[in-house]
A and B are shown apart, each in its own frame.
Chain A
């Protein structure tokens, strides 16, 4: 009978919590206002990089952070995330990523490019502008790791990186400051696919000159390489415990679903915007591309010189220089003229060249050469 009463009581408690979460008038920020005055630790159920970035933006915009500190933990399926003011073509191999179906995302905070996969833990520390302190946040992480494995040699540097054994970078940092709130997020490399990381974070496009924020490459290592018993889940739990202890939180970790529109009104719109070409590629600071391509036709190769000025992802000026015996100069000039105003992306290039071929029927030989040229130029984008 007592066990039945206990079960009843537990059920009532759980139901009450459920009702609190699913209540008709409730949204996530209302829930936080009522239950988590000092702060909370959140864990995302989604492994979609766009949904998680959207939730970060949503919390930054909608939750009152004046006297509250929130830790948000998330992991993504393979993706490359570039900083707010970076050039994706300079930072990673965009054609390869497209081919392999790995998305490129642009976050709203500054900093450099990171490769995400399920072995890479992301931590976002939300606080008010006044209590924004990156060193303190990173020390929470190092203390948590030391608590987990006392023999681990991890240290926070002046550049807000965490180094393992004084040599290898296991964490990089980026931050975003708004009017009243701020967030600082960092990665923790637990068990990332290092081969894929190095292949994707190599630029395919040499010859780009721009003032975009460059990434500073550094030798990286997984925590698991040092201690094979460490898992991402263990690290997450340790960090959550340390954070709760430091901020005096005594609630369990709250699991959030970043796709739940009722709880987070407007979040799906934010996620959609983060996936548009105009945000990911169109927000690139202006740059100049100056490069030479080798084009092969009938066992002979020629050099094509390409010059482009690109602003907001749109080609503003374009110059294609080809030896006259390969393509007539009027064709080159016409193609260069057509490229101006189109986006710096392979589909637009293919469309332009197709439209040109439709309206200017050429001999079969010339058509093939124009195809080859188009493929080579699209391979850069």
Chain B
């Protein structure tokens, strides 16, 4: 079959479009360019639909569409010139690239780049200072949605949040932070998505543009509420305004769980899940497979496994440099792991201590102090260090000299919002259990308010970490240089144990995990220290006996 060549006038139109026309390449190649020529019955010369072959049909359809668009292009251009600014608040957006907007699919994704002018602030103000761009998501190349906040400007004690009028991508910022911006001048250039009609010209949008129905397009004071249609339907069924619900998804998106939580809070009931599911569950016949069933259910030769809709994960990795306290931790731990550690673990029966503390708690509170188990642990450790001073020592960098420290400055690992802090209680050897409790209260208050100084944070000789207050039984704590030993205390559990009469009794049991520097401390020393410490806690009366 012989191809019919399109007539010359049509060719000329096509070529002129290609010269003037779209900023981006059309999505298809001209059949002529490729050398694929339209084939048809020799008698038909018109550029109508050619039915001879598949390629021909496709080519000619595209050709026709392009031609129609060429006609519309002229129409569009004349229309664009005729648009006048209707509203006085700001001039109509300057369309920079003339573009036919009616055929979105044939042209590329870029839409017109619109200038967004700084609108009138009111009270006759003519200039403002740009104070902050919302830099997390507004820099050149970033996407914004309509009503997203772009920047903060300040004028005369008033701070104004400027929100975007269009959906699109930021292409240019006209002002830096701290520069003066004039009202009515361009603030940013936004490249809108193709197909978006001209910007809403009014600065203050009175009603939502799309629909008056509350549930389809709701805004919380200028922020479009993000929620999937399923969530909106659930809200509508339960007569909930989306503006009342707090969204916990990305960018404040409202999820189904948020609606259910809102409902349960309001009515005190937990509602059954909505019958409408966003992702269809697999059909009930494809139930939990067992090994035998799996064999039976192996796909028959020639057929494939059922295709499951995989949810698309759009999360992105995020890299940032380490912050101050993280760097401090890196430095400390790098130095710490140069020390050869060994671990020693044991179990302590805390039954008698639990009873003692409950008796003394009220007395402490009457003196205005909160009493926990830590003062007992710290004091018992100090008494043990008196017998085993090598655990309260320090070695120099080359491990040539060992210094036996006189003061027992026992550190306490504290988990705060700023990270791990280890303040220490100074000179525990001369303090009573009550004094230690007072000091701990003080350190905890300072830790919470972020006022711990270097004096409190340095000078420690021995450390105890009460990780059990959060959870856990055994741990492998890391020694903090320049110390040589550390203990981690697990949580106190109520467990059955045999007593001396072979009866099963309820016991409060706590696990302790010690780590020590094996260059100067051996296992036997650690074991004996641990046994002594343990005996003080299992029998608090012996602690009183040896109290200094």
Task: Name B120-136 residues within 8 Å CB distance of A.
Answer: 121-123, 131-132
A residues in contact with B452, CB < 8 Å: 347, 350
**Chain A residues within 8 Å of B454, by CB:** 350, 353-354, 357, 370-371, 374-375, 378
Q: Mark A356-377, 1 if CB is under 8 A from B, else 0.
A: 1111010000010011001100
Chain B residues with Cβ below 8 Å from A375 are 453-455
B285-300 contacts to A (CB < 8 Å)? none
Instruction: Enumerate chain A residues within 8 angstroms of B122, measured Cβ to Cβ.
Output: 129, 132, 177
Contact of A179 (CB < 8 Å), options: B131, B221, B240, B246:
B221
Question: Closest chain A residue to B160 by CB distance?
Answer: A177
Q: Is the CB of B159 within 8 A of A177?
A: yes
> How many whole Å from B39's CB to the nearest CB in chain A?
58
Contact mask for chain A residues 256-281; partner B; CB cutoff 8 A; 1 contact, 0 none:
00000110011001000000010000
Check if A348 sits within 8 Å of B158, measured CB to CB.
no
B154 on interface, CB distance cutoff 8 Å: yes
Among B160, B325, B421, the residue within 8 A (CB) of A342 is B325
Nearest opposing residue in chain A for B162, CB measure: A179
Surface stretch bound by B, among A25-33, A140-148, A188-196, A226-234? A25-33
- A175 engages B157 (CB within 8 Å): yes
Pair A351/B161 contact, Cβ less than 8 Å: no
Please determine whether B221 and A110 come into contact, CB atoms closer than 8 angstroms.
Answer: no
B side interface size, CB within 8 A: 64
* Shortest CB distance B223–A (Å): 8
Chain A interface size band reads: 35 or more
Interface bits A307-334 vs B (CB < 8 Å: 1, else 0): 0000000110000000000000000000
Residues of A contacting B325 with CB < 8 Å? 342, 347-348, 351-352
Is there an interface contact between A352 and B322, defined as CB atoms closer than 8 Å? Answer: no
Partner of A177, one of B121, B132, B266, B480: B121
CB distance from B354 to the nearest CB of A (A): 34
A98 on interface, CB distance cutoff 8 Å: yes
Chain B, residue nearest A108 (CB): B159
CB proximity of A105 to chain B, nearest CB, Å: 15
* Complex Cα–Cα for A62 and B242 (A): 11
Considering the complex, give the chain A residue whose CB is closest to the CB of B154. Answer: A110
Interface contact B154-A341, CB-CB below 8 Å: no
Q: Which residue of A lies closest to B239 (CB)?
A: A25
* Bound: A107/B123 CA distance, A: 22
Query: In the complex the two chains form, is B450's CB within 8 Å of A173's CB?
Result: no
Confirm or deny: A150 has a beta carbon within 8 angstroms of a beta carbon on chain B: no
Which 10 residue pairs are nearest across A and B when measured between Cβ atoms?
A342-B324, A110-B159, A355-B328, A179-B222, A175-B158, A359-B335, A266-B246, A111-B157, A348-B324, A177-B160
B residues sitting closer than 8 Å to A (CB atoms) are: 121-123, 131-132, 147, 152, 154-155, 157-161, 163, 177-178, 204-205, 220-222, 239-241, 243-246, 262, 265-268, 321-325, 327-329, 331-332, 334-336, 396-397, 418-419, 421, 449-455, 457-458, 480-482
Interface residues of A (CB under 8 A from B): 24-25, 27, 29-30, 60-62, 83-85, 98-99, 101, 108-112, 129-130, 132, 134, 159-160, 173-181, 184, 211, 213, 261-262, 265-266, 269, 277, 285, 314-315, 338-339, 341-343, 345-348, 350-359, 361, 367, 370-371, 374-375, 378
Q: Mind listing 21 A-B residue pairs with CB under 8 Å?
A: A25-B239, A29-B243, A62-B244, A109-B159, A130-B204, A160-B157, A175-B159, A177-B122, A177-B161, A178-B160, A181-B221, A211-B178, A269-B246, A342-B325, A346-B453, A352-B324, A352-B328, A357-B454, A358-B482, A367-B458, A375-B453
Interface contacts beyond A61-B220, A341-B322: sample of 12 additional A-B pairs, CB < 8 Å, sorted by A: A110-B158, A178-B222, A179-B204, A180-B222, A338-B327, A350-B453, A351-B328, A351-B419, A352-B324, A354-B328, A361-B482, A371-B458
